[in-house]
Amino acid sequence: MSTARTSVRSHAEALIRLASVTPDDKGCQDYLVGQLSALGFRCEAMPHGNVSNLWARRGDAAPLFVFAGHTDVVPPGPAEHWLSDPFTPTERDGHLYGRGAADMKSSIAAFLAAVQDFVRDHPAHTGSIALLITSDEEGPAHDGTVQVCRALEARGELPDYCIVGEPTSVDRLGDMLKNGRRGSLSGSLRVEGKQGHVAYPHLAANPIHLLAPALQELAQERWDEGNEYFPPTTFQVSNIHAGTGATNVVPGELRMEFNFRFSTASTEQQLRERVETILRRHGLRFTLDWTLGGKPFLTPRGRLSQALSAAIREETGLETTLSTTGGTSDGRFIAAICPQVIEFGPINASIHQANESIRLADMEPLKHIYRRTLELLLPDPA
């Protein structure tokens, strides 16, 4: 194992102290600029709307390796649910506590420390290194990474490899990485009926009753079989509402919200068409609005996953698992301009919770894994 030199903890604590509730960066990116500029990184602020974005690059040669992450955090919630102030990094029981400790300020701290050690050891390394950092991942994600990726694509500055520092480990650091994510497609359905008195059902048309057979079919539908990397696509109803609140009124309309988490085995268009076909087959009068939250992305086994898996094995002794489970991330935007995108970071058990934390014993090993991956993909010239 490597000897620690640049402290991940000191960087993480500095970032946690900055109360960067989305989309407010609160100076986190200024802190990174101060550290990266000293290493020869060209730091470019790329704000969009009220969101702070940073693109920092060292070198011009290929291949281009990117660390990507977000400085924004979710709100901490009621202070009484925390055992210590959420923006005062606190050591307790072998953990470092604070909002963003796991998601994902410790990963950014490990990026920074890994790059600092790597550049000092390998000043003439091949290729280039960059950091893509946003303050709009936990929010709508309209003005963050997606905007930077569009700008990079427009000027032909395309990454070859990217590690997104999402907390992907489950029980032990390094036991899982994400080589893809499912897409998210939401539907907002309005089914039209006819309002009336419950005592005179022949004069009304109850949209709840009308939808029920179609909803049963939607819930039982097998949308696809998944593939080597993805489980089958899932359909879930998240909200359903009808009625005026009175017990003697047949409602005139029903509204339902639902969501698909879909794999690369299905497309957005296929899912939309199949849902609408089922609704029409049941003779419903309806309107349906669709929102694509994110397309699925997949990085098949290749140089990046091999290098990262080897680095994890060297540092922890674990054989990591490739997975595509979980929600969406900014990896979906980066995958549009980068052929190999992998998410990897600390244990995710406490993210978005009160008393969020990271194991102190995992912080330096996380840095070593990132640094070793750089060494494998950007070696010194022969």
Domain that holds residue 288: 183-294
Same domain as 208, residue 284: yes
Identify whether 273 is a catalytic site residue.
no
Same domain as 92, residue 113: yes
In a domain, 159, yes or no: yes
In a domain, 233, yes or no: yes
Q: How does residue 5 score in pLDDT terms, banded at 50, 70 and 90?
A: low
Residue range 23-35: mean pLDDT, rounded: 98
pLDDT at 326: 86
Over 60: is that where the pLDDT of 1 sits? no
Residues annotated in the binding site, as ranges? Answer: 70, 103, 138, 166, 352
CA distance 281 to 90: 59
In a domain, 283, yes or no: yes
Residues annotated in the binding site for Zn(2+), as ranges? Answer: 70, 103, 138, 166, 352
Identify whether 364 is a catalytic site residue.
no
Q: How does residue 2 score in pLDDT terms, banded at 50, 70 and 90?
A: very low
Same domain as 90, residue 193: no
Over 90: is that where the pLDDT of 363 sits? yes
CA distance 189 to 374: 48
Over 50: is that where the pLDDT of 4 sits? no
Last residue of a domain, one of 274, 294, 314: 294
In a domain, 88, yes or no: yes
All residues at 6 or more sequence positions from 284 whose CB lies less than 8 Å from its CB, including other chains: 191, 192, 210, 211, 214
CATH number for 238: 3.30.70.360
pLDDT in tens, 55-87: 999 999 999 999 999 999 999 999 999 999 999
Q: Which of 13, 25, 72, 315 is catalytic?
A: 72
CATH number for 90: 3.40.630.10
Average model confidence (pLDDT) across the chain: 96
Same domain as 174, residue 29: yes
Residue range 212-218: mean pLDDT, rounded: 98
In a domain, 52, yes or no: yes
Same domain as 193, residue 175: no
Q: How does residue 6 score in pLDDT terms, banded at 50, 70 and 90?
A: confident
pLDDT in tens, 118-164: 999 999 999 999 999 999 999 999 999 999 999 999 999 999 999 99
pLDDT at 382: 81
In a domain, 2, yes or no: no
Same domain as 140, residue 42: yes
- What are the φ and ψ backbone dihedral angles of 62, each rounded to 5 degrees? -90, 155
One-letter amino acid for residue 253 of the chain = E
Over 90: is that where the pLDDT of 176 sits? yes
Same domain as 217, residue 158: no
Same domain as 188, residue 177: no
pLDDT at 68: 98
Q: How does residue 278 score in pLDDT terms, banded at 50, 70 and 90?
A: very high
CA distance 164 to 179: 10
pLDDT in tens, 304-317: 999 999 999 999 99
In a domain, 353, yes or no: yes
Last residue of a domain, one of 270, 294, 318: 294
- 89, 98 in Cβ contact below 8 A? yes
Over 80: is that where the pLDDT of 233 sits? yes
Same domain as 220, residue 136: no
Residue range 234-263: mean pLDDT, rounded: 97
pTM of the model: 0.89
Q: Which of 13, 25, 136, 137 is catalytic?
A: 137
Burial class from Cβ neighbours inside 10 Å (0-12, 13-18, 19+) for residue 196 reads middle
In a domain, 136, yes or no: yes
**Number of structural domains the chain divides into:** 2
Q: Is the dihedral of CA 88, 92, 97, 102 positive or negative?
A: positive
pLDDT at 327: 83
Same domain as 250, residue 163: no
CA distance 29 to 32: 5
- 180, 297 in Cβ contact below 8 A? yes
Same domain as 317, residue 276: no
Last residue of a domain, one of 276, 294, 312: 294
Same domain as 319, residue 250: no
Measured at the CA of 7, the angle between CA 148 and CA 132, to 5 degrees, comes to: 5
